[in-house]
Structure 1
Amino acid sequence: MLALSANGRLPKADYAIFADTGWEPRAVYRHLDRLEKEIAAPAGIPILRVSSGNIRRDALDPGHRFASMPLYILNQDGKQGMTRRQCTGEYKIKPIKRQVRELLGYPYPQRIPKDIFVEQWVGISTDEFHRAKDADVRYMRNRHPLIDLGWSRTDCVRYLSSLGLADTPKSSCLGCPFHGNAQWRHIRDTSPDEWQDVVEFDAAIRQGNARANAGGNRLLGQAFLHRSRVPLDQAPIDHVTAAEWAARQQELDDRAPMEEELENGVVDGCSPWACRAEADLVRDDFGLAS
C-alpha cells in the first residue's frame, strides 16, 4: 500500500505507522529502512515507528507486566493447551492508537469529538477478505484498499517484484509461536545468532513468564514456542510436510489444512488488525483489543 500510494496508484498517505515489538527479525528492520529511503521519503510520506517496549525483554523481566504470548502448554496430566494471546493488543494496537491520537491532537485521556477521525488503511487482500473488519473506536475508520482494487496476494507479490521488492520479508516477532516449520528452519539455517536467541528464549519461558514466576504463580505445566511441545532445538522442524512439497510443485489446492498450518504457520498473516489468531476482546483505557 505504501508503494501504491507513493507511485500514485492510491491517494498520497499522510503517514505510515510501523508498530515495533522490539523483536522483529533483522531482515524486517533492514527492509523497513529500505522502504523509508527508496519509497516513502521520495514521496514525502513520513514513516512513524512506535513501540510499547521490547516483547522479549519484557517477557523475561519479573518487574514488568507481561502481555502474554500464545505459548503452547503441556500440562502435568499430559493435556495440551495454549496461553491467552495479549501481545497484539499491547505491542501493536496500543502504540498505533496512541500515535493516532497524538496526530489528531487529542492524546489520551482527552475525548475526541465525534467528527474527528482518521482513515486507516489495512493491507488485507482478497484472499483474506473475511479478516476485513471495522475499527473498534470512532476516531479510526478502516479502509481496505487492496480489496477495493481486487488485488490478491499474487497481485501484491507481482507488483512488489516489479519494484525490485520481491524479497519482502514476513513481519512477525522472531519467536512468534505461530511460526511454521518452514519459518523455524529459515531462522536456523540463515541466521544462527537469531536461532540461538529464540532457542534461549524458548528455554527461559518453560515455566511461564518471569513475573509469574517471581510472584510464585508458576504454570502447572510447561510452555513451549513450538506446537510439538518439545524444546525448540529438539522440535521436529525438519519434517517437510505435504504442504511444502505441494508448494514446490505448484499444487497448492491439494494440501491438507493441518499439514499446511504445521509447515507454514497459522494461515492468516500477522498484523495489528488481522493477527493470525483470534482472541476474546477486552476493553481497557485505550479501547484496545488485548
Structure 2
Amino acid sequence: MSDQPQFRALSLGAGVQSSTLLALSAEGVLPKVDYAIFADTGWEPRAVYAHLDRLEREVAAPAGIPVFRVSAGNIRNDALNPDHRFASMPLHILNQDGRPGMTRRQCTGEYKVRPIKQKVRALLGYPYPNRIPKGVFVEQWVGISTDEFHRAKDADVKYMRNRHPLLDIPWSRSDCVRYLTSLGLADTPKSSCLGCPFHGNAQWRHIRDTSPSEWADVVEFDAAIRQGNARANASGSRLLGEAFLHRSRVPLSEAPINHVTAAERAALQLSAEEAQALESGVEDGCSPWACRGDAEALTQDGFGLAT
C-alpha cells in the first residue's frame, strides 16, 4: 500500500491564507499543487470573484496549476425557493420570548465541502457511489495560519488528508498579508458569502458604502428570511421567532453598523473583546474545513425554538 497521495489539491477560498498558499506554490517556495478547487456558493462578493479571476490569470495559469470552480447551487436563491431543500445558514434568531439564538449551520457542508469532495472523487476516477480503494488518497492543502491554528482539522473522509502548510512555515495572517502585498495583491478580500451572518460591522459598512447594489441585495435578503427559509414556510414549519443577518437582531437596514463609541460600548456592557468581535467579525473568511462559524455557539436545532 502506497503512503503517497495521488495528487495535491488546494482548497482555494480566494481569501488571504489560501491565496498565499497558491502563490507560494506557484513561485516554488512550497511544492507545486496539482489543482486548486474553489467552491462557489453563488453569492460571493464581486470582489472575491474578481480576485479569483486575477489569481487564476496571473498566478495559477503561468505556473500550470488548473483552477476548478465547483458549485452545489446558489445559496441565496435556494433559501428563497420554496421548492428547494435549503441547508440552513447560521442566522441570528430572536425567539418569541425575547431570547436570542442561532439557526444550525449546514451551509458550509452543503455548498463548500460536498462539491469539493465530488470534484476530488472525479479527479481520482472514483465518482460517487464508486468505492475508493483503501490507501488511495489526496493531500489537501487548507489555508490555516498560526493565529488560527485551533481551526485546523482533519478531513472527515479517508481519501482526503488535510495539510496546513502555513503552520509548518510558520506564518501568521500578518505574514500572509505582507507577502501578498509584495506581489501586488494587497487588496485580497475576505472570502465569505455576501450575506454571511458572521460579518462584523466593518464588513457590513464596507458593503453599504462601496457597493450600493450589493447592499440592496443583502437588505432585501435579510427582510425575506425574517420568518425562516421559504421551503419551511411553505410546508407550514414556520420559524418560531424571527431571523436576522445582523447579530443585533434588528433589520439590516436599521442595524447599528457604524463604529461603536466608548459610550455605546459602556451602555451595552461590552468588553473590549466583544466590541472588537462586533466590529470586525471573525477575522478570516469561510474555509470548508475551518468555517468561521465554528468560533460561535450554534444552538438552534432546525427551525424551532433556539436555546
TM over 0.5: yes
Q: Is residue 20–residue 49 contact of structure 1 (8 Å, CA) maintained in 2?
A: yes
1:100 aligned onto 2:110: no
Give the aligned residue type for 2:179. Answer: Y
Equivalent residue runs for 1:1-290 within 5 Å: 1-240=21-260, 256-267=272-283, 269-278=285-294
Q: Is residue 92–residue 243 contact of structure 2 (8 Å, CA) maintained in 1?
A: yes
- Could you tell me how far 1:268 is from its partner in structure 2? 5.1
Q: Distance in 1 between matches of 2:88 and 2:130?
A: 28
Q: Distance in 1 between matches of 2:140 and 2:187?
A: 26
SS in 1 for 2:293: coil
TM-score (norm 1): 0.90
Q: Percent identity?
A: 82
Q: Distance in 2 between matches of 1:147 and 1:77?
A: 45
- Could you tell me how far 1:239 is from its partner in structure 2? 3.2
Q: Is residue 260–residue 275 contact of structure 2 (8 Å, CA) maintained in 1?
A: no
RMSD (CA atoms): 1.3
Q: Is residue 40–residue 112 contact of structure 2 (8 Å, CA) maintained in 1?
A: yes
**Structure 1: runs of 5 or more not aligned:** 243-254, 281-290
Give the aligned residue type for 1:190. Answer: T
TM-score (norm 2): 0.85
Runs (4 or more) in structure 1 with deviation over 3 Å come to: 239-242
Q: Tell me which residue corresponds to 1:284.
A: none
Q: Distance in 2 between matches of 1:37 and 1:6?
A: 12
C-alpha deviations, 1:83-141, integer Å up to 9, x for none?
Answer: 00000000000000000000000000111111110000011011111111111110001
C-alpha deviations, 1:193-223, integer Å up to 9, x for none?
Answer: 0000000000000000000010011111110
C-alpha deviations, 1:263-283, integer Å up to 9, x for none?
Answer: 111345421011112289xxx
* Count of matched residue positions in the alignment of Structure 1 and Structure 2: 268
| Distance of aligned partners of 1:22 and 1:138 in 2 relative to their CA distance in 1, 3 Å threshold | same
SS in 2 for 1:17: strand
Q: Distance in 1 between matches of 2:33 and 2:205?
A: 37
SS in 2 for 1:277: helix
Q: Is residue 241–residue 262 contact of structure 1 (8 Å, CA) maintained in 2?
A: no
SS in 2 for 1:176: coil
Q: Is residue 72–residue 224 contact of structure 1 (8 Å, CA) maintained in 2?
A: yes
**Bigger relative contact order, structure 1 or 2 (CA pairs below 8 A, ≥6 apart):** 2
- Could you tell me how far 1:241 is from its partner in structure 2? 5.7
